[in-house]
């Protein structure tokens, strides 16, 4: 109200309409017939108008509500449970829903960016039924999103006694931008953010370059989730959501060089992600080849100057990956929801299936390969050597063909390396492909009825095999 008075607008407190003061520290002030009757009374029903007049109430023609900043408070560091709960707006949501229900008589506004549009229409007398309906749709979607954010927070705040998958699940998204098109030009698309500060791509800041496309965002997600797996400096190059390059090193510039060397031909037109501040030397390597998009948690001023030399190159500064909530995918008529695949490398729970255990060096490479294959589309095989994914076989219908592709791409670099499979080998043929190429250790879930044959093939080559008892399908 103070803001209205400061703008020299004649404003009156709610209590003037209700004849009742706000109580319970302001928790109850608009939940009163003096307000809701004025919003809900239908102008085309004489009995409604008569009742309003009989009770000396007043009609309300326009409602503008800014809900309490729940999502902003939730994202604020240090906010307590009580702080967040206090920002759950009850009266505001009720007002919005009432006005939206009666939108043929009441204009409802929930977004400040609509103020000038509505004021102009009022002054010009062009507020029509279509505009009223659009504002009502926006209002109901606004309160639905608000309630969904609250439900999601409460479920995550204390899961005791709550179903992992509730009987009803709503997705609350805020439009970030409409995209030029979807996966193909004949499809329309948009990008939505989950909550106020969700991290990852939802909190990304674009530093330069062309507008993001649907496919850019898909690839960016795959790239950044992958490098976030590692504590050491990591770089990856993604094509069609699969890594064609991935490497770790003590310095970021070396990690990128190794990642690029994994498959230089496929790296052309790729998406690059790193898990450290991007420095000038690494940036210079990136711009030396055609690149669509670069993602990093931060950038030095010098690296930004280098990247600016490629004006069309998209550059994103990305927040930390927060895999809260559910991993969701739509299907015709519904959507699938699952927990995120957060499983890392748990050596103490794995079992050595071969006669020979891995060496200390092989264990290090197996960990790298296992975390990498988790991010490759099934059927997936990764051959790793010196903390680089030198051969990747992705998305094949046959596991042995995935192994053959990985070996073909790795060439001589497979010798002395390790091989990871996202699911068990149904036959010994797939693992034999890697062993013949020179890999010395294999990691896979196990669980095939032919596990004995697979292990015997490994033992016959004098190699080592680790069985994880867990798979990493990625469809």
Looking at the DSSP bridge assignments, the partners of residue 190 are 178
Kindly state the DSSP code that residue 388 receives in the 8-state scheme.
B
**Rounded alpha-carbon distances, angstroms, from residue 127 to 45, 113, 121:** 21, 16, 5
Q: Would you call 240 a catalytic residue per the annotation? A: yes
Q: Would you call 103 a catalytic residue per the annotation? A: no
Q: To which H or E segment does residue 391 belong?
A: strand 389-393
Beta strands in 30-166 (DSSP E): 62-64, 107-109
CB contact burial 402-412 (16+ within 10 A = b; e otherwise): bbbbbbebbee
Q: For residue 371, what are the contacts with CB-CB under 8 A and spacing of at least 6?
A: 229, 230, 344, 345
Most distant CA pair in the chain: distance in Å? Answer: 95
Q: Is 455 helix (H, G, I), strand (E, B) or coil?
A: helix
Q: Are 252 and 275 in contact (CB under 8 A)?
A: no
- For the four alpha carbons of 319, 321, 325 and 326, in that order, the dihedral sign comes to positive
Nearest by Cα to 248 from 58, 442, 385: 385
CB contact burial 148-177 (16+ within 10 A = b; e otherwise): bbbebbeeeeeeeeeeeeeeeeebbbeeee
Residue tagged active-site, from 29, 196, 240, 281 = 240
CB contact burial 208-243 (16+ within 10 A = b; e otherwise): ebeebbbbbbbbbbbbbbbbbbbeebbbbbbbebbb
Residue tagged active-site, from 29, 101, 196, 281 = 101
Q: What is the DSSP secondary-structure string of 307-346?
A: HTTSTT-EEEE-------S-EEEEETTEEEEE--------
Nearest by Cα to 91 from 140, 50, 32, 163: 32
Q: Any idea which residues carry the catalytic annotation? A: 101, 240
């Amino acid at each position: 109200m103070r803001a209205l008075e400061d703008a020299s607008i004649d404003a009156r407190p709610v209590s003037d309409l209700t004849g009742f003061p706000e109580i319970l520290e302001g928790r109850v002030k608009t939940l009163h017939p003096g307000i809701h009757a004025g919003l809900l009374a239908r102008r085309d029903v004489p009995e409604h108008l008569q009742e309003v007049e009989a009770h000396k109430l007043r009609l309300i023609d326009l409602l503008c509500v800014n809900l309490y900043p729940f999502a902003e408070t939730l994202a604020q560091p240090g906010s307590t449970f009580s702080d967040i709960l206090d920002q759950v707006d009850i009266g505001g949501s009720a007002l919005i829903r009432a006005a939206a229900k009666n939108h043929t008589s009441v204009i409802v506004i929930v977004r400040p960016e609509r103020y000038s549009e509505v004021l102009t229409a009022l002054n010009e007398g062009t507020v029509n039924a279509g505009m009223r309906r659009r504002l009502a749709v926006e209002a109901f979607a606004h309160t639905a999103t608000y309630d969904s954010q609250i439900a999601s927070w409460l479920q995550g705040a204390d899961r005791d006694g709550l179903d992992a998958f509730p009987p009803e699940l709503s997705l609350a998204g805020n439009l970030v931008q409409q995209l030029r098109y979807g996966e193909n030009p004949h499809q329309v698309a948009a990008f939505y953010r989950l909550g106020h500060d969700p991290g990852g791509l939802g909190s990304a800041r674009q530093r330069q370059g062309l507008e993001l496309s649907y496919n850019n965002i898909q690839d960016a997600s795959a790239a950044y989730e992958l490098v976030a797996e590692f504590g050491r400096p990591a770089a990856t190059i993604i094509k069609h959501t699969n890594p064609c390059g991935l490497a770790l090193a003590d310095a970021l510039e070396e990690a990128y060089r190794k990642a690029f060397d994994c498959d230089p031909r496929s790296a052309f037109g790729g998406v690059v992600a790193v898990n450290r501040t991007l420095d000038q030397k690494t940036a210079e390597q990136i711009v030396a080849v055609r690149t669509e998009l670069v993602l990093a948690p931060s950038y030095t001023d010098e690296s930004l100057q280098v990247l600016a030399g490629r004006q069309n190159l998209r550059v994103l500064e990305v927040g930390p990956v927060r895999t809260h909530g559910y991993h969701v995918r739509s299907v015709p008529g519904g959507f699938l929801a699952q927990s995120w695949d957060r499983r890392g490398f748990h050596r103490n729970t794995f079992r050595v299936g071969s006669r020979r255990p891995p060496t200390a060096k092989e264990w290090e490479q197996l960990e790298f390969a296992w975390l990498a294959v988790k991010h490759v589309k099934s059927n997936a095989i990764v051959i790793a050597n010196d903390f680089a994914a030198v051969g990747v076989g992705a998305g094949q219908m046959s596991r042995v063909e995935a192994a053959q592709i990985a070996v073909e791409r790795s060439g001589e670099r497979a010798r002395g390396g390790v091989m990871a499979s996202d699911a068990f080998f149904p036959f010994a043929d797939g693992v034999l492909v890697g062993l013949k190429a020179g890999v010395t250790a294999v990691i896979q879930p196990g669980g095939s009825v032919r596990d004995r044959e697979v292990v015997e093939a490994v033992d016959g080559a004098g190699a080592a095999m680790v069985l994880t008892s867990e798979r990493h399908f990625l469809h």
